[in-house]
Chain A
């Protein structure tokens, strides 16, 4: 039916590196040649628990893709028992993965503004590395635990907003954009829905196209179960009822495609 840009892989893979970045945020590199070759910035993978009491995959965004080493980096927040289990895994352990999933970002910009909020920051790293234009990265954190910030340095100019004002602009990512008078011809954003909603409004006011990466509870992760839909302005391809599937039609949507 719908075309698939990337071929999906379902297999148990080797974890080649695993570490804590800051409290509650972990990084894991997994090895699979096919997945690494197929993956694009903005896509995600489904990670499966080894504990049979936890059936559903955890969708985790791809933070970095190393096509030479055939590895993918996943950076995730521990939010429950499933991600807690992942955080205890070590190099040499195995984990079941399906991916890469979703559409990914459209790499189309002359001057890009990348905005990551909280655990929406990781997918921005591979995107920053992949864009072939000036990149401004706006990172929103709660406090001074500015995970991944330094890793962006080589790939663009960095602007930080923290809720407590401990680093950069005190406030949110929009405050940081305004304070630094950032301009661009494409916004790329991933983060909590209220943040994306604010960016949607900002992008419309400033007439800048924006690509927003969304999140929702998922079951199948491949577009079959219709759990993770969002409201779309146009009729969706699957059901023709203005419900796009975040896992398959997304997770990246243009801001004017969807209602948040």
Chain B
């Protein structure tokens, strides 16, 4: 039996609901040795800023129980190299292209979005939730007023639909999603990482040089499922769900909670071909339960 796996996110049709979480997959080139990028619904790129960013000192990561902490600090080559190199690279494939945009100021975000206006990309994901940079990132994502304001500012300049990427490090994520929707967001994605810390007790030091980092992986999945559910109850725009997805069952769970599409992040580090396993597993699940259209299950658990 063939199930319709196509999903529509803010007017963009993906072949299937699977994308990859920003920062875990580069711009796809490294993973293309393991995964046929044509088989991903979309590739979400590593965050790109208006100018190159060096990122944080090392160590930048540490493993934790069922997860990891990262504080890469959004190292990226800046929009010039990105436009010249990464977009043409991804255009070789039929996967949709979601460009993750980061910045220190509203103007930074707007500059990147304007530079992307004439580029052959499909969606913009606006990173207002990175916990690992001193300016920008999460600073925009922790109050409803600032979420609405930055969403409006970016939406005004954007030629492609915008996805606001939300932080879980807030008291009420539904409020943030509603603020994004009110500001004109075409979709939301959640969750970014949870701020965490690990101490190396033998060295009596922080495990990552930045002291704090973003916790990701299966350890955070129940928090993410809960947040996707809450946001699904609060807004009418599409949701891209993520946070610890490592299997087809996890992906299905997020969709049943209300996600229209899902992102695979940290699991890529555990298994570079995991996205293909998830795609095959989702198809098998649909066969087993006689699901004719994957969209049927979105938000089916109320």
A: which residues have CB within 8 A of B?
1-2, 4, 7-8, 10, 48, 52-57, 82, 96, 98, 216-230, 238-243, 248
Binary CB contact string for chain B from 49 to 61 against chain A (1 if under 8 A, 0 otherwise): 0001111001111
Asked whether B72 is an interface residue with its Cβ less than 8 Å from the other chain, the reply is yes
Contact A242 B63 (CB under 8 A): no
**CB-defined contacts of A10 to chain B, threshold 8 Å:** 34, 271-273
Contact A224 B60 (CB under 8 A): no
Contact A229 B30 (CB under 8 A): no
Contact A241 B52 (CB under 8 A): yes
B: which residues have CB within 8 A of A?
23-26, 29-31, 33-34, 46, 52-55, 58-63, 65-68, 70, 72, 75-78, 81, 85, 89, 217-218, 266-273
**Chain A to chain B: the 3 pairs with minimum beta-carbon distance, closest first:** A224-B26, A224-B30, A227-B61
Contact B30 A222 (CB under 8 A): yes
**CB-defined contacts of B23 to chain A, threshold 8 Å:** 225
Contact B26 A223 (CB under 8 A): yes
Give the distance to chain A from B80, nearest Cβ to Cβ, in Å. 9
Give the distance to chain A from B194, nearest Cβ to Cβ, in Å. 16
**CB-defined contacts of A221 to chain B, threshold 8 Å:** 269
Contact A98 B269 (CB under 8 A): no
Known A-B contacts A4-B33, A219-B269; the reply to A53 vs B72 at CB < 8 A is: no
Contact A229 B58 (CB under 8 A): yes
Known A-B contacts A56-B270, A224-B26; the reply to A217 vs B77 at CB < 8 A is: no
**CB-defined contacts of A82 to chain B, threshold 8 Å:** 63
Give the distance to chain B from A253, nearest Cβ to Cβ, in Å. 15
Bound Cα distance from A99 to B52, whole angstroms: 30
Contact A54 B31 (CB under 8 A): no
**CB-defined contacts of A240 to chain B, threshold 8 Å:** 52, 77-78, 81
Give the distance to chain B from A143, nearest Cβ to Cβ, in Å. 20
Considering only CB atoms, which chain B residue lies closest to A217 in the complex? B59
Known A-B contacts A225-B23, A241-B54, A241-B75; the reply to A8 vs B34 at CB < 8 A is: yes
Contact A56 B68 (CB under 8 A): yes
**CB-defined contacts of B29 to chain A, threshold 8 Å:** 1-2
Bound Cα distance from A8 to B32, whole angstroms: 11
Known A-B contacts A217-B61, A224-B25, A241-B54; the reply to A55 vs B269 at CB < 8 A is: yes
Bound Cα distance from A228 to B26, whole angstroms: 14
Contact A229 B75 (CB under 8 A): yes
Considering only CB atoms, which chain B residue lies closest to A80 in the complex? B63
**CB-defined contacts of A225 to chain B, threshold 8 Å:** 23-24, 26, 61, 70, 72, 269
Contact B60 A53 (CB under 8 A): no
Contact of A55 among B52, B54, B60, B217 (CB under 8 A): B217
Known A-B contacts A10-B34, A55-B67, A248-B30; the reply to A243 vs B217 at CB < 8 A is: no
**CB-defined contacts of A243 to chain B, threshold 8 Å:** 54-55, 75
Give the distance to chain A from B72, nearest Cβ to Cβ, in Å. 5
Bound Cα distance from A242 to B57, whole angstroms: 12
Give the distance to chain A from B22, nearest Cβ to Cβ, in Å. 11
Bound Cα distance from A220 to B26, whole angstroms: 10
Contact B26 A98 (CB under 8 A): no
Contact B89 A56 (CB under 8 A): no
Contact B72 A226 (CB under 8 A): yes
Known A-B contacts A1-B85, A217-B58, A224-B26; the reply to A53 vs B31 at CB < 8 A is: no
Contact B77 A55 (CB under 8 A): no
Known A-B contacts A55-B66, A229-B75; the reply to A216 vs B269 at CB < 8 A is: no
Known A-B contacts A48-B270, A219-B68; the reply to A226 vs B24 at CB < 8 A is: no
Give the distance to chain A from B28, nearest Cβ to Cβ, in Å. 9
Give the distance to chain B from A165, nearest Cβ to Cβ, in Å. 26
Considering only CB atoms, which chain A residue lies closest to B63 in the complex? A56
Bound Cα distance from A54 to B266, whole angstroms: 12
